[in-house]
Chains A and B, each alone.
Chain A
Amino acid sequence: MHDMTAHGESKGTYLYVWGALLLLTAVEVVLAYEQVLAPLHMLMVLLILSVVKAGLITMYFMHLKSELPRMRWLLTVSVMACFALMWIFFFKDAQRVVDLGVK
């Protein structure tokens, strides 16, 4: 019989999640060593991998998956909305500085 938590996860699930996180980290390091992607593409790929890792940590290790849907959605949407605003303003502006040729 599997050892289950109050959140319905087994020890095996946690080990799989840990393995997946280590594997994704290894992929990131290999990408950095090989340098096959242009910086902007590299940034996008690394960010996607980081969001996947953050999702695994919050859903499984922090048990957000087993909280009520209203708590899960309220936390996720509010934080992501703030990051989306930062993204829209900051990155566009940072690129604009480069395009204008400001030294």
Chain B
Amino acid sequence: MATVQHVVHDTQGSYEPSLFGTYSKKIGMWLFLASDSLTFGALLFAFSYGKISNPAWPTPFGKESIANATVMTACLLSSSLTMVLAVMAATRGDRSWTRNWLLATMFFGAAFTVLHAMEWTKLLGKNMTPSGNPWSAVPLFGGTFFTLTGMHMLHVTIGVIYLGVIALRKKFLPVLLALWLVGWLVTPASSVFHLGIHVLLVGAVISAIVLFLKPKDYDANDVEVSGLYWHFVDLVWMFIFPLVYLMSTKI
């Protein structure tokens, strides 16, 4: 019978230094973001392919839509500024300002999502669906538009929940559940967001599992890693805004 030999390593100095000279969590987040950028890249290319290869590709975004999308862009850019200020405060050990800047980032992120949801509601009201639209016989327009912007909206929502957990820890759970309940009661039953708001409930369950099974005091590294995710969400929008909205204007 084979015997298993347990070898106890001396942990002091037994590991090689990091190849990239930084901590593992940050490298892990960068690798995730690299793979996620390819997901968004594929969706953006799918939309752009459809636009180039279909001369009848609709251009439904008028002045009002462009103004709305510009405000959304400003919200995300401002959220990136407040996020980087949160990282700065965390680095100098200022817990109070770290929380304040994180809450400001969440506010801008939530504002972006609400504005985007209003835009979606208007388009759905004009009978634009994932399989068709009233402007042309190109069904791919709705399919690629809703997949791309929906995926981004989901990322922003997950980002707001992520920052909420970092900023408020367990205190964030009742806030998230209240937001879910209010959102569910306020949105009409016919709206796609009446179902979509359940993302907040799923987020609350996952956050609770993380917060109760592995409670910890989030430090400056955690704030920096959450910041990487948030800036990435902003970065992706810097491509969606011009390629989807500005290339399909009707002004």
- CB < 8 Å neighbour of A94 from B53, B242, B247: B53
B65-103 to A contact mask, C-beta < 8 Å, 1/0: 010001001100110110111011001100000000000
In angstroms, Cα B235 to Cα A62, docked, is: 10
From B17-25, B144-152, B172-180, give the one contacting chain A.
Answer: B17-25
A82 at interface by CB-CB < 8 Å: yes
| Contact assessment for B91 and A5 in the assembled complex, using a CB-CB cutoff below 8 Å | yes
B181 on the A face (CB < 8 A): no
Cβ–Cβ < 8 Å partners of A60 in chain B: 84
A36 CB-CB contact with B under 8 Å: no
Interface flag for B129 (CB, 8 Å): no
Q: Are A22 and B74 in contact (CB under 8 A)?
A: yes
Contact yes or no, B246 A46, CB < 8 A: yes
Q: How many contacts between A and B, using CB within 8 angstroms? A: 133
Contacts of B38 in A (CB 8 A): 79, 82
The interface-forming segment of B42-50, B163-171, B187-195 is B42-50
Min CB gap A32→B, angstroms: 4
Do the beta carbons of B238 and A62 come within 8 Å of each other? no
- Alpha-carbon distance between A81 and B77 when the two chains are bound, in angstroms: 27
Q: Is the interface of B mostly helix, strand, loop or mixed?
A: helix
Contact status A94-B231, CB under 8 Å: no
Q: Is there a chain A Cβ closer than 8 Å to B213's Cβ? A: no
- Flag if B52 contacts A79 (CB, 8 Å): no
Interface centre among A3, A53, A95 (most CB of B within 10 A): A53
Q: How far is the CB of B181 from chain A (nearest CB, A)?
A: 34
Chain A, 34-57, CB within 8 A of any chain B CB = 35, 39, 42-43, 46-47, 49-50, 53-54, 57
Instruction: Tell whether, in the assembled complex, residue B77 and residue A50 are in contact, meaning their CB atoms are under 8 Å apart.
Output: no
- Knowing A28-B241, A32-B249, the reply to whether A11 touches B88 (Cβ < 8 A) is yes
A residues in contact with B63, CB < 8 Å = 33
Q: How far is the CB of B224 from chain A (nearest CB, A)?
A: 8
Query: Which residues 17-38 in B have Cβ within 8 Å of A in the complex?
Result: 19-22, 27, 30, 34, 37-38
